[in-house]
Structure 1
Amino acid sequence: MYKTIIIGTGPAGLTAAIYLARANMKPLVIEGPQPGGQLTTTTDVENFPGFPDGIMGPVLMENMRKQAERFGAEFRTGWVNSVDMSRRPFKLDVDGLGELEAETLVLSTGASAKYLGIPGEQDNVGRGVSTCATCDGFFFRNREIIVIGGGDSALEEAGFLTRFASKVTVVHRRDELRASKIMQDRVRSNEKVEWALDRTPLEVVTNDMGVTGLKVRNNATGEEEVISATGVFVAIGHTPNTGFLGGQIDTDENGYIIVKPGTSETNVPGVFACGDVQDTRYRQAITAAGSGCMAALDCEKYIEALEHEQKELATK
């Protein structure tokens, strides 16, 4: 029986663990198959405050983990199959750990970037292939970059990357973009942006030095070509990791957890959400960490109120 269980690590879950452990809540943190979240696939993190020379993503996550352990957080590895929120305490079915119980839950399971599944893609994540322009754009100053996608997010990333790149080529498998007209007009007016529409990505092309381009098929002619670039940004969306919740938590149409504005509170009392699993807009390490702090403080306040109520009942 735990006062609180944090599901998922990453900046949000680890920050929540630090705060809850310092409050003597002795949280249990359940790590999934990728402890530390998406930052463990990032090489240099240069936009997290406090590290003027940057820090390696895995090192940052390991330091945060050690900080939480120092204050008494417990870490265990497992895969949460399901959570029963219909009764108190909450019950979790976890592979390798069996059934666990908790008075409160902090959900920080993140959102997984969608990939194309083409050769050379996964092998080069963090080495020329990225899903985050604001995270990695700086590393491609004065280089040619490809952005794959046709929605608002893809064009927003393309526009952002023109701050650094010498040229940004937008590759989309249809001949029309899904992005809003205002976003299209904004990016089309940028002289650094070129277009490769009606092209199906086939392979991320590399050599010993890294990414050199993207092989695509012209859907109209069937011909294949290689578009030169040293960076390939995949911008086809994210999938929030909320399937295991079984619809017990209110989410938006895309599966992101809905929280009460200005808080981390979900529609289920005692369940809090932080990080990318509830963030459809920013998806940055620092905003995730901030929301983890919010979740911890909200959770601590809830537990204190619960314990006060239990004491009052016991004296009657």
Structure 2
Amino acid sequence: MHKAIVIGTGPAGLTAAIYLARANLQPLVIEGDQPGGQLTTTTEVENFPGFPEGILGPDLMDNMRKQAEKFGAAFQTGWVKEIDLQNRPFTLRLENGETLTTEALIVSTGASANLLHIPNEMENIGRGVSTCATCDGFFFRGKKIIVVGGGDSAMEEAHFLTRFASEVRVVHRREELKASRIMQDRARSNEKIEWSLNRTPIEVVEGEHGVTGLKVLNNETGETEVIDTQGIFVAIGHRPNTAFLQGQLETDANGYLVVKPGTSETSIPGVFACGDVKDPVYRQAITSAGSGAMAALDLERFLDEHPVAEPSVQEVV
């Protein structure tokens, strides 16, 4: 039986693993098919403290993993298929049939950005296609940018990107926006924001060095057109990766894990959450890492105060 298991290997999960390993808890970290999380699809990271020249996203995640391994964290690749949080120790069943038990658990499975699922989109993540304006906006200084979406997030990202871009064009498949009136008014009053409404994206146009345009369908005329751009920011929401929990932990209306204010404690004692899986607001590498440290410290304190009773001789026999 493990003292602590961490599910997820983004900045939150790896930071938690570093802290737990240094506390001599020998954590086991379960990583899926994208170790390192969303940062592994990011090229340059310039806003993580300590790297004045920037660092590649995959390199940052690799360094954090090596640091966790150095202090004694173990890693196992696989997906958690089923989980039982009703009784402690908790039980995890992996897709390969293996069963694991742990005294305490950290969930740091992140949130996946909703994508358009159109040709050339995935291939150009990090080459002109992005899902995070605050992460990548700086790289598009003086360029033409498209923001796809019609909700509050899209309006917020479009407004933010005008700090860098020469032009920001909002593309939305409907004539009406879903954003709140105050967010719409703010965006419409920004002279740098242009509008291509009632247009459905159908293909990312790529060149030798990345994105050169977005092909859209004009829903009024039925004709297609290519909008020239050097960057496409997809802002149609995020989906927290919590399906494997099967509703055993409390979530908000959008599926993000709910934690006790000021802590990482979930609705079940001994289960903690960190990173984007419980953060619909900031979604930054540094805030995720900070919440990972909180989760590890909360878990360590919990184990000190709630040890699992050792089985008696009769139970062993």
With the length of structure 2 as denominator, give the TM-score of the two structures.
0.97
Q: Distance in 1 between matches of 2:114 and 2:87?
A: 34
User: Does 2:132 correspond to 1:135?
Assistant: no
Q: Which residue of 2 aligns with 1:203?
A: 203
Please tell me whether the aligned partners of residues 127 and 209 of structure 2 are also in contact (alpha carbons under 8 angstroms): no
What is aligned with 1:5? 5
* SS of residue paired to 2:184: helix
CA distance in 2, matches of 1:165, 1:231: 10
Partner of 2:92: 92
Whole-angstrom CA distance in 1 between matches of 2:36 and 2:93: 21
Which runs of no fewer than 5 residues in structure 1 stay unpaired?
none
Name the structure 2 match of 1:71.
71
Aligned to 1:289: 289
Does residue 1:145 correspond to 2:176, yes or no? no
- Superposition RMSD on alpha carbons, in Å? 1.3
Contact 1:258 1:278 in 2 (8 A): yes
Runs of 4+ in 1 over 2 A off after TM superposition: none
Matched residues, percent identical?
70
Partner residue in 2 for 1:107 = 107
* CA deviation profile, 1:158-212 (whole Å, cap 9, x unmatched): 0000000000000000000000110111111111000000000010111112211
Whole-angstrom distance in 2 between the partners of 1:88 and 1:164: 51
Equivalent residue number for residue 125 of structure 2: 125
Matched, 1:81 2:93: no
Q: Which amino acid aligns with 1:222?
A: G
SS of match in other structure, 2:176: coil
The aligned amino acid for 2:49 is P
The answer for the alignment partner of 1:179 in structure 2 is 179
- Conserved in 2, the CA contact under 8 Å of 1:48 and 1:285? yes
- In structure 2, give the amino acid aligned to 1:9: T
Give the Cα–Cα distance (whole angstroms) in 1 for the partners of residues 3 and 36 of structure 2: 22
| 1:78 and 1:97 in contact (8 A); partners too | no
- CA distance in 2 between counterparts of 1:97 and 1:244 reads 15
TM-score by length of 1: 0.97
1:306 Cα deviation from its structure 2 partner: 1.6
> How many residue pairs end up in the alignment?
312
Question: How far off its partner does 1:96 sit?
Answer: 2.9
In structure 1, C-alpha distance between the alignment counterparts of 2:226 and 2:116, rounded to whole Å: 17
Contact 1:5 1:27 in 2 (8 A): yes
CA distance in 1, matches of 2:187, 2:126: 26
- What corresponds to 2:275 in structure 1? 275
Give the Cα–Cα distance (whole angstroms) in 2 for the partners of residues 88 and 101 of structure 1: 9
Q: Equivalents in 1 of 2:309, 2:76: separation in Å?
A: 29
Gaps of 5+ in 2: 313-317
- Is 1:234 the counterpart of 2:234? The answer is yes
Offset of 1:253 from its aligned partner? 1.3
